């Protein structure tokens, strides 16, 4: 269980992070609210259930993976409702902490440990979520590029951008599989990365290593073991893949609804391409929630696909602010509730002793 002092510190840090997020995005919030004021509210309201389906699908990626596990009988306390809550909490964590999704790995490990899921298993689940989400998005991306090929206003650079993203997605996925699939490569990787980080940390005169190399090696060894088990039963990937595809479809549909709310029906291919560019940029953004970077790249990509810049910016702001105002605070509340309850009293009695 987390001590009262630790909870207080975590609360302070997360509240400060949330305030920083609001501060960075305040001008966008004001502009977005102005745009929302002139939009069709009947269409805007549809964005809410679409995003709820989106978060439910994210939760179902984890749920379907854990429930197909060889140790699924140990995870009987995991429910669809649990995983929807976790998905909303992760959305809050990944928005307020500019870590390219790394904070989500840590939080999911902490959260699911209360359900008896080992950290290595949650790491694989989170990696699987990102991997399947990007791979399934390739389906939408190629459909989007096909749609754009019929657009008279699309520039040649859009094809180049789309193909580049497809290549990077495949390359990143294959590289990750290449490392995790071999124990020797995992040891080489885990020996290199922690030492590099610890060397950088020494510059700041840290007395203790920033990363415990033994723990990292143990984690990746367990990850390798779980990966081998997963490859022996690839059918476990079917349901998570379908849910990952639903995640992408609902997200793109939510963005498209912002255009319909402004009374404009644009080429869906432009939205798909812009979303893919902005999502990739968000992984490396140093600002909370990718504020500024996300909006700029999305607008620029849409403009290159023939969408008027003013319309692209307005719709992007509506989508970003509308979803941020509703779902980031929701995730924050659920996160605080989980932190306060500890989420461990009931399931600790059945928690497995092995890891």
Domain, as residue range, for 311: 117-286+299-320
CA neighbours closer than 13 Å in the CB half-sphere of residue 329: 8
Is 137 part of any domain? Answer: yes
Residue 349 banded pLDDT, cuts 50, 70, 90? very low
Is 92 part of any domain? Answer: no
Predicted local confidence at residue 18, as pLDDT: 53
Is 235 part of any domain? Answer: yes
Is 68 part of any domain? Answer: no
Sign of CA dihedral 303, 309, 312, 318: positive
> Per residue in 235-284, pLDDT tens?
778 899 999 999 999 999 999 998 888 888 888 888 888 888 777 766 65
H-only helix segments in the chain? 4-24, 26-37, 41-44, 47-67, 80-96, 102-113, 119-148, 156-180, 183-203, 213-232, 238-261, 268-284, 293-304, 309-341
> Per residue in 162-199, pLDDT tens?
677 777 777 877 887 777 777 777 777 766 666 666 66
Report how far residue 293's alpha carbon sits from residue 2's, in angstroms, rounded to the nearest whole number: 35
| Total tally of structural domains belonging to the chain | 1
State both tokens at 321.
């602010």
Whole-model pTM? Answer: 0.73
355 Cβ contact partners less than 8 Å away, ≥ 6 residues apart: 118, 119, 120, 222
74 Cβ contact partners less than 8 Å away, ≥ 6 residues apart: 116, 350, 352
Is 26 part of any domain? Answer: no
Is 143 part of any domain? Answer: yes
Is 36 part of any domain? Answer: no
> Per residue in 44-79, pLDDT tens?
889 999 999 999 999 999 998 888 766 666 667 788
Is 166 part of any domain? Answer: yes
């Amino acid at each position: 269980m987390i001590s009262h002092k630790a909870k207080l510190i975590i609360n302070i840090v997360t509240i400060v992070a949330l305030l920083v997020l609001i501060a960075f995005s305040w001008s966008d919030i004001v502009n977005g609210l102005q745009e929302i004021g002139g939009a069709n509210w009947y269409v805007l309201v549809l964005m809410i259930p679409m995003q709820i389906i989106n978060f439910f699908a994210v939760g179902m990626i984890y749920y379907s993976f854990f429930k197909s596990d060889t140790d699924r009988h140990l995870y009987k306390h995991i429910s669809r409702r649990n995983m929807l809550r976790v998905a909303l909490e992760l959305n809050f964590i990944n928005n307020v902490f500019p870590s390219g999704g790394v904070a989500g790995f840590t939080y999911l490990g902490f959260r699911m440990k209360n359900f008896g899921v080992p950290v290595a298993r949650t790491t694989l689940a989170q990696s699987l979520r990102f991997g399947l989400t990007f791979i399934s998005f390739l389906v939408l991306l190629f459909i989007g590029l096909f749609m754009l090929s019929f657009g008279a206003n699309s520039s040649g650079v859009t094809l180049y951008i789309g193909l580049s993203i497809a290549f990077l997605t495949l390359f990143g996925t294959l590289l990750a599989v290449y490392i995790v699939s071999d124990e020797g490569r995992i040891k080489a990787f885990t020996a290199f990365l922690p030492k590099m980080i610890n060397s950088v940390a020494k510059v700041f005169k840290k007395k203790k290593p920033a990363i415990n190399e033994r723990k990292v090696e143990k984690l990746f060894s367990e990850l390798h073991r779980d990966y081998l088990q997963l490859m022996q039963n690839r059918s476990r990937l079917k349901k998570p893949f379908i849910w990952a595809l639903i995640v992408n479809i609902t997200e793109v549909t939510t963005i498209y609804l912002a255009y319909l709310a402004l009374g404009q029906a644009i080429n869906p291919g432009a939205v798909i391409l812009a979303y893919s560019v902005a999502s990739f940029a968000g992984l490396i953004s140093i600002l909370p929630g990718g504020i500024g970077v996300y909006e700029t790249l999305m607008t620029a990509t849409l403009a290159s696909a023939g969408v008027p810049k003013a319309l692209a910016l307005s719709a992007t702001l509506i989508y970003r602010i509308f979803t941020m105002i509703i779902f980031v605070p929701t995730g924050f509340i659920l996160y605080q509730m989980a932190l306060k309850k500890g989420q461990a009293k009931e399931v600790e009695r059945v928690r497995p002793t092995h890891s």
